[in-house]
Amino acid sequence: MAKTRTTYLCRDCGGVHPKWMGRCPDCGGWDTLEAFREPEATATVGTVAGVALRGEGMGEDGSSVAELTLSQATPLPDVVGLEVPRRSTGVAEFDRVLGGGIVPGAAVLLGGEPGIGKSTLLLQTAVGMVRTGGRVLYASSEESPQQIKLRADRLLGEDSEGLDQLFLCTETSLVRILEQIRRVEPTFIVLDSIQMVHRTDLDAPAGSTTQLRRCCHDLVQAAKVTQAGLVVVGHVTKEGQLAGPKLLEHVVDVVLAFEGDRDRGHRVLRAAKNRFGSTQEIGLFEMTEHGLQEADQAAEAVDAAGGGTPGLALSATMAGTRCLPIEVQALTATGFLGSAKRRASGLDANRLAMLIAVLEKHGEQRLADQDIFASVAGGARVVEPAVDLAILMAIAGAHLGRRLDRGTVVLGEVGLAGEVRSVRHLEQRLREMGRRGAKRALIPGVQAAQGMTLGVECVPVHRVSDALAALD
């Protein structure tokens, strides 16, 4: 009979240690080690598609959890089917973050603060999958089918026809969830959330490192075997990290974070890891009474034909392949020499300090005794250097009481020598802003040739002082 062995697993980094210590030697976290019992390698916890899912971990002989086929090393050119097939989830913004849809057999971990809207997003996605011809198992370990139905009624209103391929189950036992997967044979599985799910053959409580790791592993295997897309909800800790060991993030193919400003109703879906696509793309939603609305043009609040007030500057930032208009605002007020305040909201504070120094040195402004506040309208966060010049122009405008013409977009990175440097995707930004009604653009002098044919009047600027001359 196989021996069981107790090791200690770090909740934060997943490091495994033979004895308990107060501090994890790998990540330095205090009191993060938890007892972890290696299972007997032969216990079967469930079968999916005729394949037994064993009590996982490596067996005595080094065999893996579910012995699907005897694997053999294959030369790369002989590997077939490299093209990644994708299924649309029916929610365009979700597809965008996944890289164009969910890959069959892929496992996605979705994290987010309590009440941010994870269950709402997944229920809408489940409905979207069914409407595009999928078969969905929505397993909830936290809510009753009635609660889910209540939410569905709120989201769908009258429009609840044709959802007979959406199966709900309320289960906390992993074995029974696997059994449901076997029976329903879904193409898409949702588990909300992994924290409550447990395996009865382990004597650790639900939500412990041991349970999380095992249950997640089994579900991922089940998804691989049945070629169903799997989305698992994970909780986040107070610090905003996904709860459970980092190991959970290694087990899955995609890690998504659902974030947002609860007061404003904006929600952003980001990928922290994606084995099948870029992590640059973001999904934009707005939480309304009828659920999450996809907000493809989320920055509607910014009027590209607007501006025209001292202290405002329009610009455009790239989020993945998408161009979003933003409005930078600045205010200067008399402060005390030597202890003037500099505050940034939605912008990088260090970058702001640097831009103020450049403006003093190369724009010949005296700002040492000025309190300076700069922010991005609408609560967006921008860290891209391409908006440097817009921040600088907003501050200079606020200080001098001068403004840019209405509908003027400002694009350019500012260097320490007072030069305006090039930005990526200039054409795309100009096109998008032109489409939204912008008339004029200050662009980096080195990219003058690129902007001339795009329908927006381009003013090339080589230095910060050239840009300041554009203020009325």
Q: Which residues bind ligand ATP (CB under 6 A)?
A: 112, 114-120, 142, 154, 287, 289
Q: Which is nearer to ligand ATP, 145 or 401 (CB)?
A: 145
Q: Which is nearer to ligand ATP, 150 or 353 (CB)?
A: 150
DSSP string of 253-319, one letter each residue: SEEEEEEE-TTT-EEEEEEEEETTS-SS-EEEEEEETTEEEE-TTGGGGS-TT---STTEEEEEEEE
Q: Which is nearer to ligand ATP, 159 or 405 (CB)?
A: 159
Classify each residue of 258-274 as buried b or exposed e, where b means 16 or more C-beta atoms within 10 Å of its C-beta. Answer: bbbeeeeebbbbbbeeb
Query: Which option in Mg ion, ligand ATP, none does residue 86 bind, with CB closer than 5 to 8 A by kind?
Result: none
Q: How far is the CB of 244 from ligand ATP (least distance, A)?
A: 15
Q: Which is nearer to ligand ATP, 286 or 303 (CB)?
A: 286
Q: How far is the CB of 75 from ligand ATP (least distance, A)?
A: 46
CA distances from 28 to 12, 31, 33, 35, 331 (A): 10, 10, 11, 17, 43
Residues listed for the chain: 472
> What are the residue ranges of helices labelled H in 363-447?
388-400, 426-435
Token duo for residue 426: 């200039």
Q: Which is nearer to ligand ATP, 153 or 405 (CB)?
A: 153
- Look up tokens 């936290």; give the residue: 142
Query: Which option in ligand ATP, Mg ion, none does residue 161 bind, with CB closer than 5 to 8 A by kind?
Result: none
Strands 282-288 and 266-274, by their bridges, are: antiparallel
List the one residue out of 299, 295, 317, 307 whose CA is nearest residue 438: 307
Token duo for residue 364: 């010949």
Q: How far apart are CA 442 and CA 464, in angstroms?
A: 11
- Residue 362 dihedral angles phi and psi, to the nearest 5°: -100, -10
Which residue sits closest to Mg ion, CB atoms considered? 119
Q: Applying CB under 5 A, which residues contact Mg ion?
A: 119
Q: Which is nearer to ligand ATP, 77 or 114 (CB)?
A: 114
Q: How far is the CB of 126 from Mg ion (least distance, A)?
A: 13
Q: How far is the CB of 151 from ligand ATP (least distance, A)?
A: 7
Q: How far is the CB of 363 from ligand ATP (least distance, A)?
A: 44
Q: Which is nearer to Mg ion, 142 or 286 (CB)?
A: 142
Q: How far is the CB of 50 from Mg ion (least distance, A)?
A: 33
Query: Which option in ligand ATP, Mg ion, none does residue 117 bind, with CB closer than 5 to 8 A by kind?
Result: ligand ATP
Neighbouring residues of 378: CB distance < 8 A, sequence distance ≥ 6: 299, 301, 302, 326, 327
Q: How far is the CB of 231 from Mg ion (least distance, A)?
A: 12
DSSP 366: -
Query: Which option in Mg ion, ligand ATP, none does residue 289 bind, with CB closer than 5 to 8 A by kind?
Result: ligand ATP
